[in-house]
Structure 1
């Protein structure tokens, strides 16, 4: 059914989302099951095979799924021999190909595909969601089309786009975490990061200790009361301006160190540093600034014995 404006919707449930049944080619109301549209085209790969011989032939007859980020939508025409070897229409008596394979993929699309593959590989290694991957792909596409990063490698640009996408989606990763799954060093990724923000006139939210605290604490296996205390300590340290100039990651690591030593599960600076990607000396420097104000940093309901805390 269609409304006056031409938009397909259910007459009884106009605001209900529609479900695409690609096998039947129908659009179905999620509330009542009414078929409100038909002849929906499935742009995915077709995996049927019409050969009686299984062999090693690829049953996909239409190539990869459509990618709207590619200028040519990755369309190709590949002509190959039949499974029985008797495809006289495509090959002459001597076995030479009568027709040439046609690949319409441009060098620009090839660059995009390589970048998208690199972004997907990096995201898989650190368990990032598809939403973040899609945003990173879009960022790279915009940068590539604008020719804003000439002279910089595709891998560096892709890594920077993934870093920006993580921050824009509210699940930031540190530069060291991105570097760990990338082929590029921190300096080059940082350089591309700044250029991309300037070129696309976009921005990212300022990172805080709260952005990293839950993940760091979870990876360290800290109980919930210690996690809450560490989050409170990190937030208060910034509010009281106790750690001026210190990065949120080093403050978060120092807060975890302080909270753990006020509990039964005491962690070393090295254990925390390995998870947070921060050097022991960096944690110590932030902790030494926070230690004199420890009583002001802990939550009021936390049973704190100051003598339990190390001085450095």
Structure 2
């Protein structure tokens, strides 16, 4: 027996069939149709082409637009959103089910819940990704950063970095690492507070991710924290601009190396408010930056020394030109 008698021909194979119903509109010749186009064999006229639509399937059901292709794949779900959900009281058309069918669906949902995860690792992945989504929602972070954080958590699990560490700490470290890679000014204490995990554990987890996975984390500068702290303190635009200038000047001189970026930004806001006669207390700026008031005073003294040196340098330059220096 020949193989063509066993296997049927697929719809997408290039098989030509003659169509006697339709004739060529130009020469009334013989028309053949394959999976791609309809062509006249006599004159070569292409009557129809691209008969197969390779895009998504769209159709209208009950006067409603429904798509048959399903939701797109996403890295924020452990199964990339390929799982099936079983309904409860109604069918696909909205009709109420009988008691026998409802009990049957309840048994099916129970068995589906039991067989939802193939292994313990997959169950830990589902828990970790849900924790990442919760943190991103609580911190009001963009969806693109959320996807990167979920992918970072997957990489951490594949590299066996969850062993000996809590899932919540790795999830918080993944969110903080994604923010650092995108240059977002998020405090580690803020992330750990939302995650309800000790800051030391999140710091340890982030250090492990950064060392083992080689994260392209950008260095955090005080000027990045100035707009966020100014928004939290409801400072005017003049204070924010002045503080941004102080922070950028300190960064150019290299005095911010080794300093706490949020604490230095708080000190810039405090000094800018004092210069513009807008009272900001050290307690307010230190609370917004999640640092102590001692840290703010330390960086304030550094900014004062920079201002004094800058003023003395201007005086020397003016005196060399033979003009009396203005009174300070």
Q: State TM-score, norm by structure 1.
A: 0.68
How far, CA to CA, are the matches of 2:140 and 2:152 in structure 1?
19
Give the stretch that moved more between structures: 104-113 or 265-274: 104-113
How far, CA to CA, are the matches of 1:110 and 1:211 in structure 2?
38
Residue in 1 that maps onto 2:213: 200
1:98-150 deviations in whole A, cap 9, x for unaligned?
99724342232221221121112122222111111111001001111221231
Alignment check: 8 A CA contact 1:209 1:234 kept? yes
Residue in 2 that maps onto 1:182: 195
How far, CA to CA, are the matches of 1:137 and 1:116 in structure 2?
6
Residue in 2 that maps onto 1:101: 111
Q: Given the superposition, is the C-alpha separation of residues 297 and 120 from structure 1 closer, same or farther in structure 2, using an over 3 Å criterion?
A: farther
Matched, 1:262 2:275: yes
Alignment check: 8 A CA contact 1:257 1:272 kept? yes
Q: Given the superposition, is the C-alpha separation of residues 204 and 177 from structure 1 closer, same or farther in structure 2, using an over 3 Å criterion?
A: same
> Which runs of 5 or more residues in structure 1 are unaligned?
1-19, 26-38, 45-64, 301-305, 308-312
How far, CA to CA, are the matches of 1:152 and 1:24 in structure 2?
49
* Corresponding residue pairs, total: 246
Residue in 1 that maps onto 2:288: 275
Residue in 1 that maps onto 2:24: none
Displacement of 1:200 in angstroms is: 1.4
**What are the residue-to-residue correspondences of 1:41-52 with 2, within 5 Å?**
41-44=68-71
- Higher percent of residues as helix: 2
1:48-82 deviations in whole A, cap 9, x for unaligned?
xxxxxxxxxxxxxxxxx854553585535759788
Residue in 1 that maps onto 2:100: 86
Residue in 2 that maps onto 1:128: 141
Displacement of 1:97 in angstroms is: 5.8
Displacement of 1:206 in angstroms is: 0.6
Q: Given the superposition, is the C-alpha separation of residues 297 and 235 from structure 1 closer, same or farther in structure 2, using an over 3 Å criterion?
A: farther
Runs ≥4 residues deviating over 4 A: 20-25, 65-69, 71-74, 76-82, 88-91, 96-100, 295-298
Q: Given the superposition, is the C-alpha separation of residues 133 and 296 from structure 1 closer, same or farther in structure 2, using an over 3 Å criterion?
A: farther
Residue in 1 that maps onto 2:151: 138
Q: Given the superposition, is the C-alpha separation of residues 210 and 148 from structure 1 closer, same or farther in structure 2, using an over 3 Å criterion?
A: same
Alignment check: 8 A CA contact 1:74 1:105 kept? no
Residue in 2 that maps onto 1:163: 176
> Which runs of 5 or more residues in structure 2 are unaligned?
1-54, 61-65, 91-96, 315-326
How far, CA to CA, are the matches of 1:98 and 1:188 in structure 2?
41
How far, CA to CA, are the matches of 1:132 and 1:288 in structure 2?
37
Displacement of 1:210 in angstroms is: 1.8
Displacement of 1:222 in angstroms is: 1.5
Alignment check: 8 A CA contact 1:236 1:297 kept? no
How far, CA to CA, are the matches of 1:133 and 1:289 in structure 2?
37
Give the stretch that moved more between structures: 210-219 or 155-164: 210-219
Match of 1:75 among 80, 83, 92: 83
Displacement of 1:296 in angstroms is: 6.2
Q: Given the superposition, is the C-alpha separation of residues 226 and 182 from structure 1 closer, same or farther in structure 2, using an over 3 Å criterion?
A: same
Per the alignment, in what secondary structure is the counterpart of residue 86 of structure 1?
helix
Displacement of 1:196 in angstroms is: 0.7
Displacement of 1:85 in angstroms is: 0.8
Q: State TM-score, norm by structure 2.
A: 0.65
1:242-298 deviations in whole A, cap 9, x for unaligned?
455312222111111100101132100111111111111110111112212225679
